[in-house]
């Protein structure tokens, strides 16, 4: 992929002009408040100091929930966007792994370097690079390829360099800065870092602090007013803003919830540019996330074929009884 995921533009393909039964399920933003929290995600502005694990633990205490998982670990000193998924929503964190990240970094050079040389060297790091995770990382320390989409907005002052970097998830910016310093000669280190994008989540929309989260929850508990809480907590479906979507007929929802693969007759509409083995989201016609899947064929083939499999189901999100069962098991079909 030569451009960051947030710059891709997809259109909608209609396979069937299908309507949804209002008796079952509901639009994500209209879920009852308890269900809303159970399937909620927070675009949290992590402060400097605590670890990502500590911040997720604070969110659990503030909202009185049992489970909270964060999307993409930030070092304690690093600030910025830390998506935190609640209760049943941590299953969607996987979608953020294919959605890319953006950071603003302050790099400190260890010696005097010509500004043009710094620009030229940074440009060399755009594209695929090799990285070995640092010693304190949570993943295996094996060399792996990561993509840098851009290094822009460079500002210089003495030995300070400020820049913006768009990159594939799993890129270590501290290691990137170290490698840049090695190529420049005198060395460099990362002094400050802020994450300004995690997949579809940005600073421009719905970014909340722990304080505003606490205020929204207290207002709801004390007065019953849900409005602020619904503003600071988002439906989990927002995490799939950059993942290609397949909208499923009501009659196929239950079978997917029971682990069945998605067949082409179950598709009502879908987004363009889906390729084989792409991570995809299965959605109801009301916009509810049913499951995460992996495409078997392209979006064009899904539209043109009247039978056969379209995608594997890899992680079910929706509760089993949300939509009625409209399929028979093989054992039932074989009964005389």
> What positions carry a catalytic annotation?
75
Residues with Cβ within 8 Å of 321's Cβ and at least 6 positions away in sequence, in order, are none
**Cα–Cα distance between 164 and 307 in angstroms, integer?**
47
**Cα–Cα distance between 59 and 208 in angstroms, integer?**
12
Identify the helix (H) or strand (E) that includes residue 43.
Answer: strand 40-46
Q: Are 151 and 104 in contact (CB under 8 A)?
A: no
Q: Are 28 and 241 in contact (CB under 8 A)?
A: no
Measure CA 217 to chain center: 24
Which of 3, 203, 168 is closest to 72 using CA atoms? 168
**Cα–Cα distance between 230 and 234 in angstroms, integer?**
7
**Cα–Cα distance between 239 and 70 in angstroms, integer?**
12
Q: Are 233 and 36 in contact (CB under 8 A)?
A: yes
Pairing state between β 144-157 and 127-131: antiparallel
**Cα–Cα distance between 212 and 231 in angstroms, integer?**
10
87: left (phi over 0), alpha (psi -120 to 50) or beta: left
Residue that the structure tokens 């502005």 belong to: 45
**Cα–Cα distance between 50 and 56 in angstroms, integer?**
10
Question: Token digits for 28?
Answer: 């994500």
Residues with Cβ within 8 Å of 23's Cβ and at least 6 positions away in sequence, in order, are none
């Amino acid at each position: 992929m030569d451009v960051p995921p947030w710059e891709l533009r997809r259109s909608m393909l209609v396979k069937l002009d299908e309507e949804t039964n209002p008796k079952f399920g509901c639009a994500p933003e209209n879920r009852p408040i308890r269900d809303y929290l159970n399937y909620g995600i927070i675009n949290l502005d992590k402060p400097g100091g605590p670890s990502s694990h500590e911040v997720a633990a604070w969110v659990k205490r503030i909202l009185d929930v049992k489970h909270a998982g964060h999307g993409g670990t930030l070092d304690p000193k690093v600030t910025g966007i830390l998506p935190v998924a609640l209760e049943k929503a941590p299953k969607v964190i996987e979608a953020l792994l294919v959605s890319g990240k953006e950071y603003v970094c302050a790099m400190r050079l260890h010696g005097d370097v010509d500004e043009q040389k710094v620009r030229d060297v940074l440009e060399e790091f755009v594209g695929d690079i090799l990285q070995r995770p640092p010693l304190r990382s949570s993943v295996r320390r094996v060399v792996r390829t990561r993509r840098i989409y851009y290094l822009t907005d460079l500002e210089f002052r003495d030995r300070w360099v400020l820049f913006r970097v768009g990159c594939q998830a799993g890129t270590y910016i501290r290691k990137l800065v170290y490698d840049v310093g090695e190529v420049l000669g005198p060395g460099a280190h990362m002094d400050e870092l802020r994450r300004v994008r995690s997949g579809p989540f940005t600073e421009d929309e719905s970014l909340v602090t722990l304080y505003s989260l606490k205020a929204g929850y207290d207002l709801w508990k004390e007065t019953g007013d849900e409005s602020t809480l619904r503003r600071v907590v988002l439906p989990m479906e927002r995490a799939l803003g950059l993942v290609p979507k397949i909208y499923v007929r009501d009659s196929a929802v239950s079978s997917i919830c029971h682990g069945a693969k998605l067949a082409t007759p179950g598709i009502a509409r879908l987004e363009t540019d889906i390729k084989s083995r792409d991570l995809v989201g299965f959605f109801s016609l009301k916009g509810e996330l049913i499951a995460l899947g992996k495409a078997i064929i392209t979006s064009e083939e899904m539209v043109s074929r009247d039978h056969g499999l379209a995608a594997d189901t890899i992680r079910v999100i929706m509760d089993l009884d949300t939509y009625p069962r409209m399929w028979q098991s093989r054992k039932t079909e074989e009964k005389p």
